[in-house]
Amino acid sequence: MKILKKLIISLLTAILLFNLGGMATSVQAAEKVDAGAALVMDANTGQIIYQKNAKKVLPIASISKLLTVAVIENEIDQNKLSWNSKVKINKALAKLSVSSELSNVELKQGASYTVKELVHASLISSADAATLALTKATGDTTASFNKKMQAMARKIGVTDAKIYNAVGLKNSDLESLKLKNVAGKAENEMSANDVAKIAQYIVKNDSDLLQITKIKTETFKTTSTASTVMDSLNQMLPGNTFEPKTVKMDGLKTGTSDAAGQSFVGTGTYKGHRLITVVLHANGGSEPRYSQTEILLRIVVNGYKPVTLKKNSTIAQTKTVTVPNAKQTKAAVRVAKDTTVWVANETSLNSWKQTFKAKTSLQDKNHKLAAPVKAGQNIGSLQLTKDGVASLTGKSVNVPLKAHADIDKANIFVRLYRSVF
């Protein structure tokens, strides 16, 4: 009887533990982001860990300023501007800078401000007039600067965005600076994918901007005797109200309008890996853009593990690749640089499909890797795929590969023999 009792207790305990385990999995799966569109991704590889309506084009409001500043950074890189270049404020900009309907720091008519001061105002306090002043730095009109923004967007890989001005306001809000023959209610629109591409571009190419977006408070000098204290609108920065417990956030930009609702593109590091989050038109609570971003971060922290393929390491299933015209048709390969893949808990990267794709310039007519290749030369990428996996560039996470040793071309007789037999 005692043995039977013990068996029953053991069975009930096992059932309870099984149900608790299932409950934990269900709770994790039940994490839902309440927003018009959202995603969280690895900033380095572009792997999308979670997405919702990520390709749906929506208004983005002041998130537009990231693209504007990317244009300015590009012009600095091309020596068309410098951080110390000065922009003189005209009557129209001065008037906009004191509008109670907009985000702003006051700009005085006739005064001049450096590009650095205006960029800080744009990114820290989302100052609309300061951002528009940046577009005048090289003498552009609203229309001509829009063309620069569109060109930069295409360079980044954004092709379906609607861009009307540098700040994300409705066209009519720009008053005398508005576009002609464009509806007054028109405002910038992008998908969460597009916003993520811009954020990734900034992280990789203009990382100095993260030194600005992480600033919590700064003084803006309106005149030599007057100043304004700018407080960052990003409430997820360390020490602010919505600081996450697990991810250290240091950027990037908020956006708010009637059409865009509350939106936010953020970035931060977790276990040494940089993540990018996008929430467009967030719902729920008083500051939903932050609470929904926190859900995105929880999905990553609670549901996934980073698996890093180290530079110079081998990958079990792809230690060699085929080189049809080489002396030895199987060539050893190595990982070209550290690459992290986010893998769902309780699963393994070994279950992912692996497909080698040769670098275009090294392909033969059949799209296979062609010799000769030098040791250490980048030869292409290993495309890792699995159901449900996506990246900004497609449905795979790409691991760059390099040749482990020289791959010599076979002589013509060997190649002829292979072509026949």
For the residues 347-364, what does the mean pLDDT come to?
A: 94
**Separation of alpha carbons 258 and 260, rounded Å:** 6
pLDDT attached to residue 316: 82
The pTM assigned to this predicted structure is: 0.90
pLDDT attached to residue 421: 79
| pLDDT confidence band for 80 (50 / 70 / 90) | very high
Residue 7 has pLDDT above 90, yes or no: no
Helix (H) or strand (E) holding 385: strand 378-385
Residue 237 has pLDDT above 60, yes or no: yes
What is the tens place of the pLDDT at every residue in 93-149?
Answer: 999 999 988 999 999 999 999 999 999 999 999 999 999 999 999 999 999 999 999
pLDDT attached to residue 31: 77
| pLDDT confidence band for 30 (50 / 70 / 90) | low
Q: Which residues of 320-338 are buried (b: 16+ CB within 10 A; e: fewer)?
A: ebebebbeebebebbbbee
Helix (H) or strand (E) holding 149: helix 142-156
Residue 6 has pLDDT above 80, yes or no: no
Q: Is pLDDT larger for residue 5 or for residue 45?
A: 45
- The residue type found at 255 is G
**Separation of alpha carbons 333 and 323, rounded Å:** 11
- CB contact at 8 A, 131 and 188: no
* CATH number for region 35-304: 3.40.710.10
SS3 assignment, position 136: coil
Helix (H) or strand (E) holding 399: strand 397-403
What is the tens place of the pLDDT at every residue in 411-421?
Answer: 999 989 988 87
pLDDT attached to residue 27: 35
User: Could you confirm whether domain 310-420 is CATH 2.60.410.10?
Assistant: yes
Q: List, as one string, the DSSP characters of 344-382.
A: ETT--GGGSEEEEEE-GGGB-TTS-B-S-B-TT-EEEEE
Rg for the chain, CA atoms, rounded: 26
Residue 12 has pLDDT above 60, yes or no: no
pLDDT attached to residue 23: 32
For the residues 208-214, what does the mean pLDDT come to?
A: 97
pLDDT attached to residue 14: 38
For the residues 61-77, what does the mean pLDDT come to?
A: 97
For the residues 274-284, what does the mean pLDDT come to?
A: 96
pLDDT attached to residue 18: 36
Residue 309 has pLDDT above 90, yes or no: yes
Of 45-49, 97-101, 234-238, 246-250, the one with minimum mean pLDDT is 97-101
Angle between helices 64-77 and 115-124 (to 10 degrees): 160
**Separation of alpha carbons 392 and 42, rounded Å:** 10
Q: Strand ranges (DSSP E) for 208-352?
A: 217-221, 227-231, 248-257, 261-270, 273-282, 304-309, 320-322, 330-335, 339-344
What is the tens place of the pLDDT at every residue in 374-389?
Answer: 999 999 999 999 998 9
Domain ranges, ordered by start, for the chain = 35-304, 310-420
Whole-number mean pLDDT of the chain?
A: 91
Q: List, as one string, the DSSP characters of 50-67.
A: EEESTT--EE-GGGHHHH
Residue 22 has pLDDT above 80, yes or no: no
